[in-house]
Every structure is written in structure tokens, then in C-alpha cells.
A and B are shown apart, each in its own frame.
Chain A
Amino acid sequence: MEKTQVILAVLFGTIVLMLLVLFLLFFLVRYRYRSNAYIRERENLKKAFEQTLLQSQVEVQENTFAMLGQELHDNIGQLLASTKALIAVTQRKLQYSTDTLNIAEETLGQAINELRSLSKSLDKEWLQQFDFIENLETEVKRIGTAKTLQINFSHPEKLLLQPEEQIILFRIVQEAIQNAIKHSQAQHININVSHSVSSLVVNVIDNGKGFEEDLKMATGLGIKNMKHRTQLLGGTIEWISSPGNGSTVNLKLPVKKVSNEDSRRYY
């Protein structure tokens, strides 16, 4: 009797403990299943919030740009135009117009044209009328008129992007070009835009002085803006450079697979 009782106690105790372990595991797995769903939902909300925040930042920036463009056109543009008119009046009054005055008038004319195209490129409404390629071609032409550097722009026939996405992409590339001109002192810039089934790739390559890939570079306002904008488009951006060897900006944006109805919205 005692023998059977002890053996039964061993078996019963073992089974009870193992059932407890089983229950614990079941509870743990079930809890994690729910917890995972909750964490995913929270992350999605956070991501959506960040996207909205970035979107508002970009919108504010675009409005500031638009206002700046308007101010340039209406105030400084008008001042320059009236100065040019005054020079013309002076030239007419003088018997012999001097070379310096002629050059000043010509330079002023160039400045007015530059200002007009600059204020155009800052105007959001103007940008929305054209696609990314047209906008960038205009920008390249504008920079090319200075004849101090050569810009090559290769691109596919058309990119199917929403107007807002086009503006964001345009601003990123615009910043990359500005960086190449201002900081890198490049004489040659290559802009390549290509797309595959899964991604859109933009490379901005210059032959300037290059830079050390350190943190200082990464914390600059321009770089931060480029990163923010790329994040907003759900893509990735990287800089490859070393002193004396120019620099390359590689931008990669994902191609979103959408239904036929929405396909025109994406590249």
C-alpha cells in the first residue's frame, strides 16, 4: 500500500508540476501574442505621428520658401528693376555711356533674371505645375548660366510621383547641389536618376574637395533637412566622401506596390 502511494505521489507530483509549466508557457505565449499586437499598433501610431510632424515641418518650410520667393520677387526684384530703369535713364542723359555703366546695367539685368528664376524655384505653386524632372532641369539650367561649373543630369522619361513627393525629392536634390557648390567647390556635378521595379535611386556626384564623414557633417542643418525629407518619403540616404576625392549622395526611395487605381500615384 505504502509503495503504491509513494509511487503514485511521485507520478502525480511530477504530472502536476509539468502541467503547471505547460500552463505557464501557454499563458506566456498567449500574452506575448496580444502584447506583440499592442506594440505593433503603438509603433504604427508613433510612426504616423512622426510622419505627420515631419509633413507639417516640411509644409511650414515650403510656406517659408514661398514667402521668401514672393518677397524676393516683389521687393528686391522691384528695387533692382527700378535701379535698372534709373541706369537706363542715366545712359540716355549722358552723351557717351561709359563701359562700366554698360557692364553695370548688364550685370543688373543678369541679377534680375537670376532673382526671378530663384523666386520661381522657391514658389510652391509653380513647382506643383511641373514634375520633378522639369523642375530639376530648370534648376540645372539656372545654375549652368553662371558657367562656373558643369552639371549633367540623366533621368528616365517620367517619374510617377505625387506632387508633394516631387517637391520633397526636389528639395533634397536641390540641397545636395547647393552643398556641392558651396562647400565642396565642385566644378563638375553629375545627377543620375534611375528607377527599378522596387526602388528609385538618385545619385548626386561631384568632383569637389570632399569631406571627412564625421558627425559634424551629419549634424548640419542642411544634412538634417535632407535626412528628414528622405525619412518622410520612407527612403534612405547616405554620403560617401573622403578628402580630395569629391562626394556622392546616394538616395534610395522604395517603390510602393499599389492597386491599379492608385498606381499612377507612385513610381
Chain B
Amino acid sequence: MMKILIGLMPTLISLLTVILFYKKLHPAWLRLFFYFLVFTLAVDAGAAFYSQYFKKSNHLILNIYLPVNFGFYFLLFFKAFERRSFKRFASLAFILFILFYLCDIIFIEGFYYFNIYSFCLGSILIVLCCLLYFMWLFTSDRVMNYFKMPMFWISTGLLFFYTGNLVQMSLMKYIIDNGLDPGSRIYDFIMVTLNVLLYGAFTISFICNQAWRKPR
């Protein structure tokens, strides 16, 4: 129980922050985070409790969450990108991911086993979106303060989370099949660390924007 609560804490803090600053969030599409975080928290809590108390695999729940999770991030990048070509990339990445996800569900890993291939593809596409966003920041001809830009923090969190997860997830099948991580201690350690980084970055993104703050 304690382990689950600790695991959910970063998401909960992020959700509370988005509620607190909901009306002041700028740009307005950042408010979508509220719905996303409520859904994420419900799925994470539901999956964890289901697995703990019914002693059954929660992969089905996580597989349903997968397209929502990646779909939301692709939508974020679609909104954040200013160049049309980058927007097109975000749209194509979403379509590619959904098509692959359907193939994975129907032909490869199925509904009841966590779709690692889809997760890895989604991770690579999100990392590419983050890199495109950073490329735009790098080449931009405007005076910018990254630390006050919500999307900078969101991209940073996503980049840490999905690059950090990539090695583990690509070897996940091998690790599980061979029982190399009994008690999922390494998995839990990496996931908790990455979750703290991801939701910590999200939390900062909700409060970093100076536009709504009163001038001193």
C-alpha cells in the first residue's frame, strides 16, 4: 500500500498543482493536463491496486492507457510546434503509433501482455518530438528564457522519462522471461526515479510561466 502511494505521489503533486493554477495556465491548452493527470492517476492507482489485491496482471489496463498517454503527448507537441512541418511530424507520429499499436494488439503481443513494442516505438517518437522542439528552440531568432517556458520543462521531463525508459523497456521481455529482476526492484527504482523527473518537470511547467504573476 505504502509502495503504491509513494509511486503515485509525483502524479498527485502534479495534479494538485494543475488544479491550483488551472485558471492561470498559459497557453490555455495546458489545462488539458488536468484531465490527463486525473485519468493517469486513476489508471495508475487502479492498475496498482488491481495487481496487488487480485494478484492478477494489470497489463490490460496499461495497454488501454497506452494510446491515450502517447496521444496526449503528440497533441501537446502538435499545439506547441510553430512550424507546419513539425506539426505534420507530430500528426504522422500519432497515426504511425496508432497503426502499430493496433497491429501489436491484434497480431503481435495481444491485449493481455504489455505492449512493449508499441511503448518503445511511442518512446522513440516522443523523443524525436522533444528533439524537434529543442531544435526549434536552438534555431529560434528570439530572446527566450527557457526556464519560463512551460513546454521546455514538459519536453525536458518527457526526454528524461522516455530515453531513461528505453533501455529497460527494450530488454524487459528478456528480463521477465529469465527472471533477472526478482521483486522488480531495479524496475521500480528506475520507474520511481523517472516518474519523479517527469512529473516534477510537469509541476514546474505549471508554475514557471511568469505572465500571470504580479510584478514585484
Residue positions of A touching B, CB distance < 8 A: 2-3, 6-7, 9-11, 13-14, 17-18, 20-21, 24-25, 28-29, 31-32, 36, 39-40, 43
Contacts and interface: CB of A to CB of B under 8 A. Distances in A.
A24 B168 contact: no
Nearest to A37: B143
Question: Which of A7, A14, A28, A39 has the most CB atoms of chain B within a 10 A radius of its CB?
Answer: A14
- Interface of B, secondary structure class, is helix
Nearest to A31: B138
Contacts of A2: 178, 180
Contact of A32 (B144, B160, B180): B144
B158 to A, nearest CB: 10
A10 B163 contact: no
A25 B156 CA distance: 8
Nearest to B145: A36
A28 B166 contact: no
Nearest to B189: A11
Cβ-closest 8 pairs across A and B: A13-B167, A17-B163, A3-B180, A36-B143, A14-B167, A39-B143, A21-B159, A18-B164
Contact of A18 (B143, B146, B163, B175): B163
A7 B142 contact: no
A21 B180 CA distance: 27
- Interface of A, secondary structure class, is helix
Given A10-B175, A32-B144, A36-B143, A18 B134 contact: no
B186 interface: yes
Interface in B68-120: none
Contacts of A7: 175, 180-181, 186
B160 A10 contact: no
B28 interface: no
B168 A28 contact: no
B146 A6 contact: no
A40 B143 CA distance: 7
B186 A11 contact: yes
A31 B140 CA distance: 11
A10 to B, nearest CB: 5
A21 B163 contact: yes
A10 B175 CA distance: 10
B190 A14 contact: yes
